[in-house]
Amino acid sequence: MTTGLAWMVAITIGLTLGGAALHFPGSYGSPAFDVTAGVFGSILGGVNGASVGVLTWIGLRLSRRAGARFLTMMVVSVGVTHAINDGSSTELPFALYAAIAGLVTAGAAGWILGERRPGLLAVIGAAWMVGLNIGGWSGNMIGLPRTESPLGWAEEHGWDGLVAGIVWGLATAAVGLPYSIRGRIATVDGALNGS
């Protein structure tokens, strides 16, 4: 229970602070695709992903190897999510970009974390997509941003990060991702140490 709670808190705090400071999940709203904005968004998202990775690494007391792998996964996931939204065109629906970000997140979990269970990968991707959609939808429902200013945008994106963090953290904790990462760590570390 403590592992799941630490997981959810680290993910949610990291995405909320990243949203407020770095505008996670990005600024969907331009009529044309913008490669420069996408590249800049990937850098901001990478920094946000690194903060989520570090907080989770500390919260779960991961080994260097496992912590670095999770940090890398979050840099990729949040970086791509932010890049897609910053460089996207409003000619296509936000839900499509959220679905692509969910696929990238599931792919990163499979590739970087070595997760192979299809059901768990499906939850990882679907929860990321759903969290992004609910964050944006609920922010619109409560009238965010309240002002078209840096403070208003920070408030809106902080909300997006909070909601996405809660949804993704809760869903992935419920299916055992933090326990899976810790279990794999114990197996790998035990094998390396000869136990």
> pLDDT (tens digit, 9 = 90+) per residue, 22-80?
999 988 878 899 999 999 999 999 999 999 999 999 999 999 999 999 999 999 999 99
Tell me which of 193 and 55 has the higher pLDDT.
Answer: 55
How far apart are alpha carbons 57 and 55 in whole angstroms? 5
Structural tokens at position 157: 């994106």
The answer as to whether 42 is a domain residue is: yes
Full residue range of the structural domain in which residue 20 is found: 2-181
The answer as to whether 106 is a domain residue is: yes
- Give the chain's domain count: 1
Average pLDDT over residues 142-171: 96
pTM of the model: 0.92
The answer as to whether 145 is a domain residue is: yes
For residue 74, how far is the Cα from the chain centroid? 6
The answer as to whether 193 is a domain residue is: no
Confidence tier at 160 by pLDDT (50, 70, 90): very high
The reported pLDDT for the residue numbered 184 is 60
